[in-house]
Amino acid sequence: EAAVTQSPRSKVAVTGGKVTLSCHQTNNHDYMYWYRQDTGHGLRLIHYSYVADSTEKGDIPDGYKASRPSQENFSLILELASLSQTAVYFCASSSGRSDYTFGSGTRLLVI
């Protein structure tokens, strides 16, 4: 079954540390996205990609980097984690002009 798998499911990180969130899709989709979810804000787009080896900034890219080494994999990198980056992060894939398939989310707590 086609799916989007995120790892880890949850993580506790120290302020100033580096965090990498991983996403793997088996949908054969070209587009992949990283969103963060905060209470009262819905989901906000951080970075996205429509082809391997290329990433684009979303609406709130500051403090985040992204990497798309292959069609299947898309990572979100927090070089210097901050308290304000505590949130739930969702990865999604899409073939374009279609519904998104979301992963189950990564719950990140920065202390």
Partner 1 sequence: TQTVSQSDAHVTVFEGDSVELRCNYSYGGSIYLSWYIQHHGRGLQFLLKYYSGNPVVQGVNGFKAEFSKSDSSFHLRKASVHWSDSAVYFCAVSPSSNMGYKLTFGTGTSLLVDP
Residues found near partner 1 in the complex (CB under 8 A) = 4, 31, 33, 35, 40-45, 48, 50, 56, 58-59, 90, 92, 94, 96-105
Q: How far is the CB of 45 from partner 1 (least distance, A)?
A: 6
Q: What is the DSSP letter of 83?
A: G
Q: How far is the CB of 79 from partner 1 (least distance, A)?
A: 24
| Cα angle 33, 100, 57; round to 5 | 20
Q: Which is nearer to partner 1, 62 or 99 (CB)?
A: 99
| Rounded Cα gap, residues 83 and 33, in angstroms | 22
